[in-house]
Amino acid sequence: MIDINELLSVLPHRYPMLLVDRILEINEEGTYCRGLKNVTMNEPFFQGHYPGNPIMPGVLIIESMAQVGAACLMKNPSLAGRIPLIGSIEEVKFRRMVKPGDQLIHEIKILWVKGGVGKMDAQATVDGELAAKMTMLFKLSVPNKE
């Protein structure tokens, strides 16, 4: 399990763009993990995304899944110092609205990593019900040190 403090050490994201609260499970190879995002009414996007009937934007669900995948990858010592960036997103499906009070559970499978690119499958569920799923290609980038 990886808590928020360790996530802050492996992910470059910060509030309000850090969309992962905890990694619940990760295998030794860094090819499978499950992560958690608590969706609260305090999220800044709810002020303008359907006031009176707040719904988490789909692009932020995608970003949250991508961040769990990034945390999974960053646990692999051979990828240390590289940041995964979204290259393309395929086969995105949204099946359920995500509202304040929901707990998003992301399940990520890293399909392959070759050189500086890779591919992963991801899904997000709420109470065991599929909320969203996608396949994502990513590029591993070395951050600027200016």
49, 82, 109, 119: the catalytic one is: 49
Distances (CA, A) of 119 to 10, 49, 58, 110: 19, 30, 20, 6
Closest CA to 122 of 103, 82, 143, 94: 94
Residue 31 is given by DSSP the state S
Q: Count the helix, strand and coil residues of the chain and give each as a percent rounded to the nearest 5.
A: 20, 40, 40
d(CA 131, CA 42): 21
Structure tokens belonging to residue 109: 């499978």
Told to judge if 49 belongs to the known catalytic residues of this protein, a careful annotator would answer: yes
* Radius of gyration, CA atoms only, the chain: 15
Catalytic residues: 49
